[in-house]
Structure 1
Amino acid sequence: MPRIAEAARSVAWWFTSVMGDHDYARYVAHMQVRHPDEPIPSEREYWRDRHAEAEANPASRCC
């Protein structure tokens, strides 16, 4: 049973990674390390800006 639970957690982690659920957390970690003096946008602002960039440059999207 523990192997099945571990496999399920692995699949869930992979799926959320593919969907971008971890992107904001990685972005915040990057900003804290590389740009500690810069303000960090809220998660809502992050996603709004990310989608605006994709709309402005459709070639940057994968699909």
Structure 2
Amino acid sequence: MLVRGVRVLRWMRWYVRELTDESAYERYVAHVRKQHPDAPVPSRRAFEKERTDRQETDPRQGFRCC
């Protein structure tokens, strides 16, 4: 019973992280390390800033109401 509860909690955590795109940085780092092993990996702050700037300049990337 405890194992099933832990499994459900892990699934819920994964689901929420994917829904909110919280795991985007981890996916990006894995991609860079696999496809471009010699390339430097930006910090999470730099990644988020670049991502936000890209979304604000291209309306197809994301929607901001304010």
TM-score > 0.5 by shorter chain: yes
Percent identity over paired residues:
32
Q: Distance in 2 between matches of 1:60 and 1:7?
A: 32
The runs of 5 or more residues in structure 1 that have no matched partner are: none
Q: TM-score, normalised by structure 2?
A: 0.79
**Superposed counterparts of 1:48-63, under 5 Å:** 48-61=49-62
Letter in 2 for 1:20: D
Q: TM-score, normalised by structure 1?
A: 0.82
Which consecutive aligned stretches of 4+ in structure 1 deviate over 6 angstroms post-superposition?
A: none
Further displaced range: 25-34 or 5-14: 5-14
Shift of 1:29: 0.9
Instruction: Determine if the alignment matches structure 1 residue 19 to structure 2 residue 20.
Output: yes
Aligned residues: 63
For the aligned residues, what is the CA RMSD?
1.7
Q: Distance in 1 between matches of 2:12 and 2:27?
A: 20
The runs of 5 or more residues in structure 2 that have no matched partner are: none
